[in-house]
Chains A and B, each alone.
Chain A
Amino acid sequence: MAELTAERLDVDGLLADPGIRIVVCCGAGGVGKTTTAAALGLRAAEVHGRRTVVLTIDPARRLAQSMGLSELDNTPRQVKGIDAANGGELHAMMLDMKRTFDEVVQQHTTPQRAAEIFANPFYQAMSSTFAGTQEYMAMEKLGQLRATDEWDLIVVDTPPSRSALDFLDAPARLSRFLDGRMLRMLLAPARSGGRSMFSLVTASFGLFSRAVQKILGAQLLTDLSGFVAALDSMFGGFRQRADDTYRILQDPQTAFLVVAAPERDAVREAAYFAERLVTDRMPLAGLVLNRMHRSELATLSAEHSEKAADRLAAAGDQQVTVDALRIHAALMRQTEREVRVAATFTDAFPAVPAAAVAAQPADVHDVDGLRTIGALLAA
């Protein structure tokens, strides 16, 4: 949009580039990340003829249905109804966190140990509610998709975390926890009998362990120690996987887009994320600003419009124009505010190109809607 001070993001250039194999859409929740990811995937397939897969995390019901994402088998399926004239294909999937966790376990241990882990009540009840599991599994699934080399382009939606940085941080935290010395310190298995006891590393630890036992209860801790014993056979596999995928993110074949809306919180999250990408030497290709408003009559200022409306209202007979002028004034003020909020990012990161997408009258529910968004992104 003309009003943004940033350079225009060349979305089509990005999607057409055979050297870009992964596009990651990051940002705060609620800014249209999933819609953006799906729209980019669709455009890559239809306009640029690429064999594309979109990994979504938590898509809205209707959009998920229209993309055929109701299948919960944790594997990509082809999306019907797309234009294949340029030789492209679009596949899509919704992340199944629990199943992905199972896949990681299966790939790192014997079938017998895997069966033990799957049967463990702690694993069943708790594994998907740990903080960071969704982020870890999203990265894991990305790693799996990339490793098959089946896709020309992978577009990744990221989980609706509390903070945009969780996508980068949570997997490492979780893998430290699962591979970690804390579990072992508190739950070292006894040498005989196979039942665990608390390891009394220090007097404090002993007291703490007993308090924790009282708080958490014997059943949970028995299940937990069984889980830990079975996990032992995975030899630091969790951390290894997380590290491998992190390296993929640092590769020049990966492009990050940070998605935001012109609201203070969303832009602040986008800025934290952009700073972090610079520190981690990960490539930030651009900013996508959804839900932007634009006036069709920028030459009439808010103030003039408001004053004219007041004059007409006093005169008494042009109610339609009075209202239209007030609507216009409000829109002009909104547009100005949005550009100001956007500037808090674009001023801090002048080298990051941006694409602005106009606010839509209703949510995007289907492939047609995604096509419209894709065209707006590339405009």
Chain B
Amino acid sequence: MGEHVNRWPARLHVVTGKGGTGKTSVAAALALGLATGGRRTLLVEVEGRQGIAQLFDKAPLPYQELRIATVAGGGEVRALAVDAEEALLEYLDMFYHLGAAGRALRKVGAIDFATTIAPGLRDVLLTGKVKESTTRSHEGRRVYDAVVLDAPPTGRIGRFLNVTAETARLAKMGPIKTQSEGVASLLRSPITAVHVVTLLEEMPVQETLDAIAELDALRIPVGRIIVNATRPALLTGGKVTKADLRRGLAAAGLPADPAAVSGLAAEAKAYLTRHELEESLRADLAEVGRPTIELPLLPQGVDRAGLDELAARLMSA
């Protein structure tokens, strides 16, 4: 029952990828998969996009951990949409007892100001929240068996996770400093794994390779490469002739006139060209030498059934 968990040993799974690669869907599928066997996982987003709510067809999520899915076997997935301003207010309340004052100041834009002039501050508050939920215990047990972060895209992931550099310009002492050191340490431990989602397209693959190099340089553990939206390999013989198609169409009882044969041949040729590019991109990815999983394209779009299919695939890989 617990074997799938052994394949995903980290407790904090950071899911990144170029925009458009299906990062949010993959993060959600991972959260569902890791909740099987009666476990509880937390799916977190930090960019205010409300991607999780849209994916699960729910109203925009407040800044609160709420259950969004149950899984066969009694497991559950909770979701948290972290808002940097709310996180700063929470912080000011916790460390400076500025609860009511903080909320009043929010109205005049003072909170927005503080997070604007110091982008590093935003990021350390967001990652701090993620750390807190990963390490939180209640009555001696971890509240969450795993936390899955739908993280910023590959173009920003290095900067986002490199908290100590980001906060180097901020206060040299105090809770923020301590927080950033704690986050930096968690992110560089075996508790964390950063998984990179990609498509078999040139720019996503390039960004995948760049992100992995960047994370390696930061000594942040890279988990798996997750190749999304793959299609089953067809025409593995590699060659298509019009004669073959004419024969085949006739055998199938379909029109086999020149237009039909040419049309089908053109589509097959385009497929082969595409497939060749995909194979070469697979080779590029393989050179990095990371464990890689392929997930199938879901032609009907991503609904709960689709997510469950992806979850099962992830857990069995």
- Let me know if A323 and B235 touch, CB within 8 A: yes
Q: Which of B182-206 contact A (CB under 8 A)?
A: 201-203, 206
Binds A, one of B1-9, B33-41, B260-268, B304-312: B260-268
Report how many residues on chain A are interfacial, defined by Cβ distance under 8 Å. 63
Contact A315–B277 (Cβ < 8 Å): no
B235 / chain A contacts, CB cutoff of 8 Å = 320, 323-324, 327
CA distance A314 to B253 in the complex (A): 14
Q: Is the CB of A131 within 8 A of B299?
A: no
Given contacts A60-B203, A186-B110, A330-B299, contact A296 B49 (CB under 8 A): no
Residue from A162, A183, A321 with most neighbouring chain B CB atoms (10 Å): A321
How many chain B residues have a CB neighbour from A under 8 Å?
67
Residue contact A220 to B169, C-beta cutoff 8 Å = yes
Closest Cβ of chain A to B268, distance in Å, is: 5
Which parts of A327-379 form the interface with B (CB within 8 Å)? 327-328, 330-331, 333-334, 337, 361-363
B residues lining the A interface (CB < 8 Å): 18-20, 47, 49, 92, 95-96, 98, 101-102, 104-105, 108-110, 113-114, 116-119, 121, 169-172, 174-176, 201-203, 206, 231, 234-235, 237, 239-241, 244-245, 247-249, 251-255, 259-260, 262-268, 270-271, 273-274, 277, 299, 301
| Interface-located stretch among A140-148, A200-208, A251-259 | A200-208
| Highest count of chain B CB atoms <10 Å: which of A186, A207, A264 | A207
CB of A324 within 8 A of CB of B119, answer: no
| B240 in contact with A320 (CB, 8 Å) | yes
What is the 8 Å Cβ interface bit string for chain A, positions 193-215, against chain B (1 contact, 0 not)? Answer: 00000000000110110011011
Interface stretch of the complex, out of A12-20, A95-103, A304-312: A304-312
Residues of A within 8 Å of B245, CB to CB, are 320-321, 324
A217 (CB) vs chain B CBs: closest residue: B171
Verify B113–A125 contact, CB threshold 8 A.
Answer: no
CB atoms of A361 and B277 under 8 A apart? yes
Q: How far is the CA of A183 from the CA of B174 in the complex (A)?
A: 24
State whether B249 touches A321 (Cβ < 8 A).
Answer: yes
Residues of A within 8 A of B118 (CB): 126, 216, 220
Instruction: Compute how far the CA of A220 lies from the CA of B171 in the bound complex, rounded to whole angstroms.
Output: 8
**How far, in Å, is B39 (CB) from chain A's closest CB?**
30
Query: Can you list 26 A-B pairs with a CB-CB distance of less than 8 A?
Result: A30-B19, A61-B206, A126-B117, A131-B116, A162-B49, A186-B113, A211-B92, A212-B114, A215-B170, A215-B171, A216-B171, A220-B169, A295-B267, A297-B264, A300-B254, A308-B254, A312-B252, A321-B245, A321-B247, A321-B252, A327-B235, A327-B271, A328-B267, A330-B231, A361-B270, A362-B277
Residues from chain B with a CB closer than 8 A to the CB of A326 are: 234
Tell whether, in the assembled complex, residue A207 and residue B252 are in contact, meaning their CB atoms are under 8 Å apart: no
A176 to chain B, nearest CB (A): 9
